[in-house]
Amino acid sequence: MNDILLMMVIPFIVACILLVVKNDRARGPISYIGAALIIATSIWVAWNYHGDPQTFEVSGESIDLLMFAIEAILGLVIIYLGIKHKKPIASVLGLVQLVMSVCFEFVFKEGIEVENGLYIDDLSIVMILIIGIIGSLICVYAVGYMRDFQEHHADEKDRRRWFFFLLFVFLSAMYGVVLSNNLVWMFFFWEITTLCSFALIGFTRTEEAVNNSFRQLILNLIGGIAFLAALILLADQEGFLALDRLLATPDALVADWLLVAVMLMALAGIVKSAQMPFHTWLLGAMVAPTPTSALLHSSTMVKAGVFMLLKLSPLLYGNIGGDMVMAVGGLTFLLASMAAISQSNAKRVLAYSTIANLGLIVACAGVGTPEAAWAGVMLMVFHAITKSLLFLCVGTAEHHIGSRNIEDMDGLFARMPKLALIMMLGIAAMFLVPFGMLISKWAALTAFVDTEEAMSVILVACIAFGSAVTGFYWTKWLGKLACVVRDAKDIEDTVRPQEWTVLGSLAALVVIVCLGYPLLSDWLVVPWMDIAFFPEHADLALMETNNLYLLLIMLVALVLIFVPFFGRSKTKEVPNYMSGVNIDDLSYTGSMGAPVNVTLRNWYMEDWFGEDRIRKVGEAVTAVVIVACIVLACGGWLR
Amino acid sequence: MSCTSKSPWILHYDASSCNGCDIEVLACLTPIYDAERFGVINTGDPKQADIFLITGAVNDQNKEVVRQLYDQMPEPKVVVAVGICACSGGIFRDCYNILGGADKVIPVDVYVPGCAARPESIIDGIVKGVAVLEEKRAKMEGEKRCSRSRGSRS
Amino acid sequence: MSNWTLLLFAVIFVALAPVAGCILAGIDRKISARMQGRQGPPVMQPLYDVRKLLAKERRTSNRVQDFYVACYLFWIVVTGAMFFAGMDLLLIVFTLTLGETFLVLAAYCSGSPFAQVGAQREIYVAMAYEPMILIMAVAYYLFTGGEDGGSFAVRDIAGFGDMAILPMLGIFLGFLFILTMKLRKSPFDLSMSHHAHQDIVRGVATEFSGRTYAMMEVSHWYENIMLLGMVALFFQNGEWTGVVIGAVVAVLAYILEIWIDNGFARMKWQTALKSGWIVSLVLGMGNIIALLVIA
């Protein structure tokens, strides 16, 4: 147990050291050592506890009181900041939450003891590995990136200490979320992640950043209030606040009030995982420096949301809560994928793709069968690795070509060959066979069909149309990168070594985890499901092993096919056909004898898939679904 | 006959024709003449063409275009000049901007005279062109074989 | 059916599909010519074309392009082999997409304006037809479903015992509709038409010449045979009659496509997505609901 505590505390200690250390040169080694320690402890914990779920007796008035005090102070800070930046809604929500938590602490929570404060199971281990490995790799990347960032913003005050402090605190809080059995503690860490991302998004303190950070805060406060309401309901009605007791409620006994509590917690998860209608906060998060986006999108924050939903998944089987989660997830997948088509900003495309893929995971969680949850966990793992890789790639490209617009990445294959290859690998891993994302999507589709309910029709439609749309926006980006421009200047030398290390290791992880797909499933995911799901619907019809081996063969083939193309060839390289007289590949002599430049642009179909249009539809539909489901559930309870 | 002669794909370029010959070229594809029965395809892409069918005289404006189209066609390739303008400049040959026939810019293999050239004679010209194409292919293969045997000796 | 028989089918596909595909393409040109009142080229014309292309000088706009086209060919062959070996239909669809992606990359990487526009149209059309294909796979799964869930595997679908055509009539019609897009036939031949006299020259294939172009042609042969196999799958009942009926209907479907190709002018690009999605939604999803209700 001590090793788990140590694992949770190390990032916090590193964070505090980094907050104190002013010297930029020292920051690098401290971060590297910290990251190495975090990775080592997380692997150690995973190795020690996998297949061996247990809870730990940790409790104490003092811990509770300390957490409450911190929460109260942070609540006051929110109210103050809301007033200072003229964001009254934030202040009001902060106040509501503060009042609710005071009431909860002194009225409802009285006399409820949770003896087993911490737990660990295989799902937590999956999360620990994601947070520990990917999260700390992003921190390492940030060292090099932030140096460039400071150079680009030389006129501003150096606040990098604060930035690194937040990054590492974030990791600590995430560990807290995935390991707390005491729901009050989980809520505490939940709120810490909200505030950390608030501070990270607003890091640059430009007007846009401040606005976006407040949007994130407001939306997540709604989620936090829902969480708190669920806690009050649990404490008031049944008098327990332990996650394991909540999850041990057999589904036949999901009482009406309990269903409402579960739905409120699911709502908190939906907000955190940036599902429609709350998705705008994640789009706004891009204004922050790239490591922040990478962290928020891949290993932390949004993953806390889907973790919560996957955890609750067994309780969502075949009830209105499940329907709500499924509908929101499925629609978000479809609509966010569509919105991604109209975007040329690489980070925004990635953001929409994150929202869409999280939608798929959320939908999987809502189904409530182990088969679907399996697909959900797998999607989560692959998404974390691939998305962090892509974000960091875009960050590096941005610092070198001076733009995060996909149109400006035209011919990146010639200008930054290594980076383009890694990026292409990342994009391929997002939507092509034989990589993990697609395999998991495939499993998700199977799981949806297997439920054979009315909801499954909607989900099948969402996934069928959503996948087609996904293919479109990824392929056109891939094409831009693949374009070969003759005589392009290689501008790759100045990429910092930390960045290469991290990009290389993440790219390797993408491939390794794909190869280790069956192992990952057998060691971690299946054992978790055997325990987490109630035996009556725990008949596992997972993907045939034959297919998995076939995929491995395909992966090898994909690599081997390169071989004959190495070396010299007699093929003559000639310029393109341009219906006229070429000057080079991108210009020709026009009919008046003057040179005409060719510019090639991708297709965005703004009229059909415009962001605003999609957002309006999505927000309206999903909001109606959520409100209707919760009202129905409350009606059932009150009756 | 090898496959090269069974599938001559044509790139048709109108240098500065009065469109008389161009109409006749298209007439070759109509049901009456049906050049496709010989495997002829009128492609618009020099990279996939075997026979460069040029109509009209070459002028200052388009000599580069003609040259480039010719360059973009992969070997073996044949040029067929259709109509008297493409052969020699025809009635336009003395105009200030006309260079003359297509052979002023690129090597022409077959000349099809006429104003306008009749479809029969155009098809005839293509068939002649196919024979030249066949020769060139044989030569190309011979060269390849030579270079290969030279390579093995050294 | 034993695994060895299935493997044999895959091998037969790899060996014979180009022959059948080549003849099919020849018949296509012959019938098209006859529909236009012409005599048309010999049936083996596509073979002559490919052999000529192989004899041409090797040129390319860049070598990566040839690599991508080779990948395209490779994955199309793999897809077809997987289909005839009776593997998972979803996996087959996804592998087909992988192959398609390589073709699109080949077009993109040249940087040619025509090829790039073609490439974007190609993925646009793919967006129009893909939902239907996924829905088809799901419908088969529901069709074969029993107590312990259905199957996506082609061998289970083919050996199920009942023909899928009646319960999946909507899916079949929808599939015929998108087959026009998959075969790049006239109303939807946006990305590259069969003749290089269109707005964007030869579209995706503009920069392919000689051997590269030949590879693309051969992959089309493979792909067409596999698509006709998918048509025939609707009629499999586990006996030889199913195979015969399937083959006959597949050929008829192809003739229908030729007729559509010759009888319709190209439609506006908007029509492809709208009609593709409406057909998928109405015929495809409608049929899924019907299957669920039956179950």
Supply the pLDDT for residue A407.
Answer: 87
Q: Which long-range contacts (CB under 8 A, 24 or more apart) does A492-497 make?
A: A492/A400, A492/A415, A492/A416, A492/A417, A492/A418, A492/A419, A494/A400, A495/A396, A495/A400, A495/A416, A495/A419, A496/A144, A496/A145, A496/A147, A496/A148, A497/A144
pLDDT tens profile B49-103: 999 999 999 988 888 889 989 988 998 899 999 999 999 988 888 889 898 889 9
Confidence of residue C164 (pLDDT cuts 50, 70, 90): confident
**C291 touching chain A per CB within 8 A:** no
Within 8 A of C114 by CB-CB distance, chain A residues are 577
The pLDDT assigned to A569 comes to 67
Contacts of C37 in chain B (CB under 8 A): 31
Q: Please report the pLDDT score of residue A324 as a whole number.
A: 92
pLDDT value, residue C17: 93
In chain A, which residue's Cα lies nearest the Cα of B60?
Answer: A593
Instruction: List pLDDT tens digits, range C100-122.
Output: 999 999 998 888 888 899 999 99
pLDDT at A537: 46
Please tell me which of the candidates B46, B47, B65 has its beta carbon nearest to residue A581.
B65
What percentage of chain B exceeds 90 in pLDDT?
38
pLDDT of residue C146: 65
pLDDT tens, residue by residue, C19-33 = 999 999 999 999 999
Give the tens place of pLDDT for each residue, C258-281: 999 888 888 888 899 999 999 999
DSSP per residue over A176-226, as a string? Answer: HHHHB-BHHHHHHHHHHHHHHHHHHHTTT--HHHHHHHHHHHHHHHHHHHH
Tokens representing B143 are 């060269």
Asked if C281 reaches chain A (Cβ–Cβ under 8 Å), the answer is yes
Structure confidence by residue, pLDDT tens digits, B99-118: 888 999 999 999 999 888 99
Reply yes or no on whether the pLDDT at C147 is more than 70.
no
Q: Do C91 and A442 touch (CB under 8 A)?
A: yes
Q: A125-137 pLDDT, tens per residue?
A: 999 999 999 999 9
| Average pLDDT over all residues of chain C | 89
Pick B71 or A253 by higher pLDDT.
Answer: B71
Q: Average model confidence (pLDDT) for chain A?
A: 86
Q: Where are the domains of chain A?
A: 2-151+160-560+597-638
- Tell me the average pLDDT across A555-571: 69
Percent of chain C with pLDDT over 90: 54
For A139-162, the pLDDT digits (tens) are 998 888 888 888 888 887 888 888
- Alpha carbon distance A404, A395 (integer Å): 8
Strands A118-120 and A54-56, bridge-based pairing: antiparallel
Cβ–Cβ contact C34 with B under 8 A: no
Which DSSP string corresponds to C197-233? -STTTTGGGTT--HHHHHHHHHHHHHHHHHHHHHHHH
| Interface TM-score (ipTM) > 0.85 | yes
Task: State the pLDDT confidence band at A538, using cuts at 50, 70 and 90.
Answer: very low
Q: Range of C70's domain?
A: 3-294
| Nearest residue to A251 via CA among A494, A502, A12, A532 | A532
Query: Structurally, how many domains does chain C consist of?
Result: 1
More confident residue, A156 or A392: A392
Angle between helices C286-294 and A454-482 (to 10 degrees): 140
Output C247 or B5, whichever has higher pLDDT.
C247
C41 φ/ψ sector (left φ>0, alpha ψ -120 to 50, else beta)? beta
Does residue B153 carry a pLDDT above 60? no
Closest to C209 (Cβ–Cβ): which among B6, B47, B141?
A: B47
In CATH terms, B3-153 corresponds, of 3.40.50.12280, 3.40.50.1820, 3.40.50.720, 3.30.70.260, to 3.40.50.12280
The residues spanned by each domain of chain B are 3-153
Mean pLDDT computed over A446-450: 85
d(CA C131, CA C139): 12
Contact A378, A516 (CB under 8 A): no
